[in-house]
Amino acid sequence: MDDKAHRQERLAAVRPRLVSFALMHLRDRSQAEDAVQEAMVSALEKHDSFAGRSGYETWVFGILKYKILDAMRAQKRQGRWQPLADENDDEAIDRLFQQNGRWQPEARPQSWGEPEAAFENERFWQVFDACMIALPDSAARIFSLRELMGLSTEEICRELGIKENNCWVMLHRARLRLRACIEQGWLEGDAS
C-alpha cells in the first residue's frame, strides 16, 4: 500500500470520532460533516507539516478545532445562535435546590461508582451524548469549548464576545444539568 492510501485509511478510521466531536460543538449534522471534510482535506494536503511530535490523531483533531471555530463564528455571524440566549434559563437549576440552597431530596447527587470505570463503559458515552443533545444550545457549546476543545474561559470569552463571569455562570449551569441528566440515565440503566 502506498503512503497516500495509507494516510487516507488512517483518516477514515478517525472520521467517526471527528464527526461526533464536531457535532458536539456545531449541533448540526451537515455542518459537522462539512467541518470534518475540510479538516480531512487539509490534513492530506498539509501532511508534510505533520512533524510527528504529537500523535497523528492529535494533529488531525488540532486541524479540526480551527475548522470548528471558523464554522462557529459563521453560525454566530448568521445569527444562528447567540452565546447568551439561554442565560436566563434558571428554572431547571432552581428546581434542583430548596429555597435555603440545600439539594432537593430527589436531586441529591448519588454515587456513580468508580468514576474512571465510567469512561471505559460504552453505555456511559451513550448517556453522555444524549445528555449533551438535551442541553440548551449555548450551554452545550460553551461546555464543549471548555471541556472537549480545552479552551480556557478567557479564550472562550474572547471567541464569543461575552464576559468571563457569564462564562463561569453558564458552565456551572451546564455542569449541573449534565450531571443530573447523566445520573438519571446511568443509574436507571443499572437498575434494569
Partner 1 sequence: MMMCKEATRLMSLRQDRPLTFQERLSLRLHLAMCGACRECDRQFTLLHGVGRRFGPAEDDEPPASSS
Choose the stretch contacting partner 1; rule: CB under 8 A; options: 1-9, 36-44, 133-141, 175-183.
175-183
Window 78-117: residues binding partner 1 (CB under 8 A): 96-97, 100-103, 108-112, 115
The interaxial angle of helices 122-134 and 164-191, nearest 10 deg, is 130
How many Å from the N-terminal Cα to the C-terminal Cα in the chain?
A: 48
Q: Could you say whether residue 7 binds partner 1 (CB under 8 A)?
A: no
For partner 1, the closer of residues 78 and 88 by Cβ is 88
Q: Could you say whether residue 140 binds partner 1 (CB under 8 A)?
A: no
C-alpha cell read off for 4: 497516500
| CB-count burial class (<10 Å; 0-12, 13-18, 19+) for 38 | middle
DSSP-derived 3-state class of residue 97: strand
Burial profile 99-125: b = 16 or more Cβ within 10 angstroms, e = fewer: eeeeeeeeeeeeeeeeeeebeeeeebe
Q: Could you say whether residue 118 binds partner 1 (CB under 8 A)?
A: yes
For partner 1, the closer of residues 80 and 180 by Cβ is 180
Candidate residues 28, 147, 155, 159; the one interacting with partner 1 per rule CB under 8 A: 147
What string marks each residue from 52 to 81 as x (binds partner 1 by CB under 8 A) or -? --xx-xx--x--------------------
Q: What is the largest CA-CA distance in the chain?
A: 67
Measured distance CA(117)–CA(115) in Å, rounded: 5
Q: How far is the CB of 1 from partner 1 (least distance, A)?
A: 22
For partner 1, the closer of residues 6 and 102 by Cβ is 102
Say if CB 126 and CB 188 are below 8 A apart: no
Choose the stretch contacting partner 1; rule: CB under 8 A; options: 15-23, 27-35, 66-74, 79-87.
15-23
For partner 1, the closer of residues 25 and 80 by Cβ is 25
Q: Which residues contact 155 (CB under 8 A, 6 or more apart)?
A: none
Which spans of this chain sit near partner 1 (rule: CB under 8 A)?
17, 20-21, 54-55, 57-58, 61, 96-97, 100-103, 108-112, 115, 118-119, 125, 128, 146-150, 152-153, 167-168, 171-172, 175-176, 178-179, 182-183
